[in-house]
Structure 1
Amino acid sequence: MDHEHGLRRLIRRARRALRDRTSRWLARLAATPTPCHAPLPCPTRILVCRVNKRLGNTVLLTPLLQSLAATFPQARIDVLVQGRYNGVLLENLPGVNRVHEVPTEPWPLLRRLVPLIRHLRRQRYDLAIDPNNHSSSNRLAMAVSGARYRLGFAAADQWLKLTHAAAFPDHEPHTGLQPLYLLAAITGTPVHRIKTTAVGLTDHQRSRAHNRLQASLGAAADGPLIGFFAEATGGKQLPGDWWQAWCTAVQEQAPDATLVQIVRPGGPALAPTATPVGTSDLGELAAIIEQMDGFIAADSGPMHLASATGVPVLGLFQATPPERFAPLGELCCAITTPVEPAAAARMLLALRKQTDELLRRQG
């Protein structure tokens, strides 16, 4: 397993080095090395290009989408993502009109790419946005979109000629908040920067989630529902015995709590005291997590998904910096590991109590 992870790291490093070298070479032909600001007439058709299939990256795009909708309420916002699963999380957000999906498999990609490009160009977008500072896929998508104006970050390796460019905000480390600084390059009016993630859930998704959760739990749970996701990629994942000890600690500290483990469909429970719940429908999964009273996970897509639903979240970080990837939400907290399972249980339960007190004051 360690050998497999090491090979994957080498492949990622090689791909990153090739991408950086190619970008620097292309930047010699046509580059946008310095910021260029100019107020735009209020755009009515906007395309946001985030050609990536990772769940966390999709959720971390939502602060920008919400900020765009608040800053340009008359605009129709389309989003270009990769894969056919993540788009369901964005399509019901305020201001979002449609989510276009780039296939991940080679044959559907070749078969559908030309029709997709034609469709994008027929939309006659006023503005295309690349929210990332190093994505060649995003830049290619903007280049072929046919948008009248193109907005992104200025950089020495920014090989796409942009009409509007912002300086990369080195003072803002968080990946989900950096794109918000793009908006100042296109408007002279105050920018509405929304710094929390969100997902657009329907009543139908919530109803299905409620039914699935009740079917999994059997009898109605009287106490709080505490959710957790024990998986993560590479060095971000905590060992199984840590999670088992954490489950034991929660049951000792909150005997009335019901533990719900979010798993891949059909996956087993990590501990006998936990009820496994899983679905491949991300909208339904978000609606399931929304019913939790608290949620804990390592740095992963479900961690960000939980924060986007408004659930109190405790994020565990051991291989990635929390200042870049912490869950964004008023009820969220990120800690670095190692941390004792009992201490993590106390933190999450305390976070839940703080939330209950806040809701009582507001109510």
Structure 2
Amino acid sequence: MKIPNSVNVYRRKIMRFITKNVGSSQTEPKFDANTQVNIKKILIIRPNHRLGNQLLLTPIVQEVINTFPNCEIDLFVKGGVAYPVFENYKQISTIFQLPKKPFNHLFKYVKCWILIKRKHYDLVINGDKNSSSGRLLTQISTGDYKVFGDVNDTIKLKYTDYEHIAKYPVYNLRHYLTKLGFSDNRSEVPTLNIKLNESEIQKGKKLLKDIVKNDKQTICIYTNATGNKCYSENWWHTFYTRLKNEFENDFNIIEMLPIENISKINFKATHFYSKDIREMGAIIKNTSIFIAADNGVMHLASASLTPTIGFFSVTNENIYKPYGNGSMALNTNTTTIDDWITEINKILR
């Protein structure tokens, strides 16, 4: 049974209202020199099925591993993309995977919650402060220390980029740990990372070579996105034409097709199609720049450690922009096509 989108909107609003104060009574831990803090078993919660949101979880997973190298991590997620995203994270022990449509798989949904409740964790981290189910699960889980995800005012004053959905969980954890006696970590927040291995990268290199059939560097574009984040065919045709005029002599320009196998430029560029997330990432890894609107594949490109340009028009780039590896966000409401070409040229040349 398909739940109407309008019903889901109201359901989310009601759940957020009900759970907004869950964890608010949680006081910050107090440091006790006589108490040994031993954190080995960790639960990270992010019950969202979208590819982008799974990839945006990778920085907090890396932060936990960097802080506790000998830890064992359980993930509580939703949908089927977590396995390929975290395949090469050896510290991850178990992935509790909620069904994408819980109302259709109520037994499996409840079973996941019961399994979590039965386990004991040294540390529980809610990866999204706006997730109602994430807050509830953090509350009911059995853990010595719990980070619910609310952004502390101290963090807001200290970091200008605290809004970013992949960064604030890291800042929250660092702040929380200082209350347990850990030193203040001011290093750069880890970038998104799907952790491609050398074999995957070499396979991606061969696949790309088979596509372009030359040794020039490659620009990769992705013209699809969900809902109103998706730019029109006219917009993409205008941009693609300008891109060709500026760079076609020196660079290949290819298009990665979405799972729907559609193209906003009517397949005018050399294109390729894959449903394999890691294969897609490996091909992107071997390109010089990836250009797309705000969407999950944009985050996949960023997680493949390729310079990524994300076009934003309706979503807040401060929350979702690609970062690291020379990546950047461009708000198309306040910039022009000349600005976009200038930034692309800086990365390429």
TM tier relative to shorter chain:
0.7 to 0.9
Unaligned runs of 5+ in 2: none
Q: Residues 234 and 249 of structure 1: is their aligned pair in 2 closer, same or farther, counting only changes over 3 Å?
A: same
CA distances 1:165-184 after superposition (whole Å, capped 9, x unpaired) = x5684452212111112222
Once residues 271 and 82 of structure 2 are traced to their aligned partners in structure 1, the CA distance between those partners, rounded to angstroms, is 22
1:275 partnered with 2:267: no
Q: Which residue of 2 aligns with 1:226?
A: 219
C-alpha displacement at 1:117, in angstroms?
Answer: 4.1
Q: Residues 243 and 31 of structure 1: is their aligned pair in 2 closer, same or farther, counting only changes over 3 Å?
A: closer
C-alpha displacement at 1:36, in angstroms?
Answer: 1.3
Q: Which residue of 2 aligns with 1:147?
A: 143
Q: After the TM superposition, which parts of structure 1 deviate over 6 Å for at least 4 consecutive aligned residues?
A: none
TM (norm. structure 1) is 0.80
C-alpha displacement at 1:194, in angstroms?
Answer: 2.3
1:298 partnered with 2:293: yes
Q: Which amino acid aligns with 2:317?
A: P
Q: Which amino acid aligns with 1:223?
A: K
C-alpha displacement at 1:43, in angstroms?
Answer: 0.7
C-alpha displacement at 1:302, in angstroms?
Answer: 1.2
Q: Which residue of 2 aligns with 1:244?
A: 237
Contact in 1 for aligned 2:23/2:135 (Cα 8 Å): no
Once residues 61 and 323 of structure 2 are traced to their aligned partners in structure 1, the CA distance between those partners, rounded to angstroms, is 14
Q: Which amino acid aligns with 1:316?
A: F
Once residues 185 and 240 of structure 1 are traced to their aligned partners in structure 2, the CA distance between those partners, rounded to angstroms, is 47
Unaligned runs of 5+ in 1: 1-6, 156-165, 354-363
Specify the SS of the correspondent of 2:120: coil
Q: Residues 79 and 140 of structure 1: is their aligned pair in 2 closer, same or farther, counting only changes over 3 Å?
A: same
Once residues 166 and 217 of structure 2 are traced to their aligned partners in structure 1, the CA distance between those partners, rounded to angstroms, is 30
Q: Residues 116 and 19 of structure 1: is their aligned pair in 2 closer, same or farther, counting only changes over 3 Å?
A: closer
Alignment map for 1:52-63 (pairs within 5 Å)? 52-63=48-59
Specify the SS of the correspondent of 2:310: strand
Q: Which amino acid aligns with 1:89?
A: V
Specify the SS of the correspondent of 1:133: coil
Specify the SS of the correspondent of 1:87: helix
Q: Residues 121 and 34 of structure 1: is their aligned pair in 2 closer, same or farther, counting only changes over 3 Å?
A: closer
Residue 51 (structure 1) aligned to one of 47, 51, 67? 47
Q: Which amino acid aligns with 1:228?
A: I
1:124 partnered with 2:120: yes
Of all paired residues, the percent bearing the same amino acid is 26
Q: Which amino acid aligns with 2:302?
A: S
Q: Which residue of 2 aligns with 1:309?
A: 304
1:176 partnered with 2:166: yes
TM (norm. structure 2) is 0.83
Contact in 2 for aligned 1:225/1:258 (Cα 8 Å): yes
Q: Which residue of 2 aligns with 1:359?
A: none
Q: Which residue of 1 aligns with 2:344?
A: 348
CA distances 1:71-101 after superposition (whole Å, capped 9, x unpaired) = 1112112211111123321232364334331
Q: Which residue of 1 aligns with 2:324?
A: 329
| CA RMSD after TM alignment | 2.9
Q: Residues 328 and 287 of structure 1: is their aligned pair in 2 closer, same or farther, counting only changes over 3 Å?
A: same
C-alpha displacement at 1:114, in angstroms?
Answer: 4.7
Q: Residues 122 and 33 of structure 1: is their aligned pair in 2 closer, same or farther, counting only changes over 3 Å?
A: closer
Specify the SS of the correspondent of 2:148: strand
Q: Which residue of 2 aligns with 1:358?
A: none
C-alpha displacement at 1:261, in angstroms?
Answer: 1.3
C-alpha displacement at 1:22, in angstroms?
Answer: 1.9
Once residues 77 and 331 of structure 2 are traced to their aligned partners in structure 1, the CA distance between those partners, rounded to angstroms, is 30
Q: Which amino acid aligns with 1:225?
A: T
Q: Which amino acid aligns with 1:38?
A: K
Contact in 2 for aligned 1:236/1:320 (Cα 8 Å): yes
Q: Which amino acid aligns with 1:315?
A: G
Q: Which amino acid aligns with 1:32?
A: S
C-alpha displacement at 1:295, in angstroms?
Answer: 0.9
1:87 partnered with 2:79: no
Once residues 201 and 99 of structure 1 are traced to their aligned partners in structure 2, the CA distance between those partners, rounded to angstroms, is 19
Contact in 1 for aligned 2:204/2:282 (Cα 8 Å): yes
Once residues 339 and 266 of structure 2 are traced to their aligned partners in structure 1, the CA distance between those partners, rounded to angstroms, is 18
Once residues 229 and 299 of structure 2 are traced to their aligned partners in structure 1, the CA distance between those partners, rounded to angstroms, is 14
Q: Residues 49 and 77 of structure 1: is their aligned pair in 2 closer, same or farther, counting only changes over 3 Å?
A: same
C-alpha displacement at 1:63, in angstroms?
Answer: 1.6
Contact in 2 for aligned 1:316/1:337 (Cα 8 Å): yes
Q: Which amino acid aligns with 2:100?
A: T
Once residues 203 and 76 of structure 1 are traced to their aligned partners in structure 2, the CA distance between those partners, rounded to angstroms, is 24
Specify the SS of the correspondent of 1:127: strand
Q: Residues 343 and 134 of structure 1: is their aligned pair in 2 closer, same or farther, counting only changes over 3 Å?
A: closer
Q: How many residues align?
A: 330
Q: Which residue of 1 aligns with 2:28?
A: 36
1:289 partnered with 2:307: no
C-alpha displacement at 1:44, in angstroms?
Answer: 0.5
Contact in 2 for aligned 1:169/1:181 (Cα 8 Å): yes
Q: Which residue of 2 aligns with 1:15?
A: 11
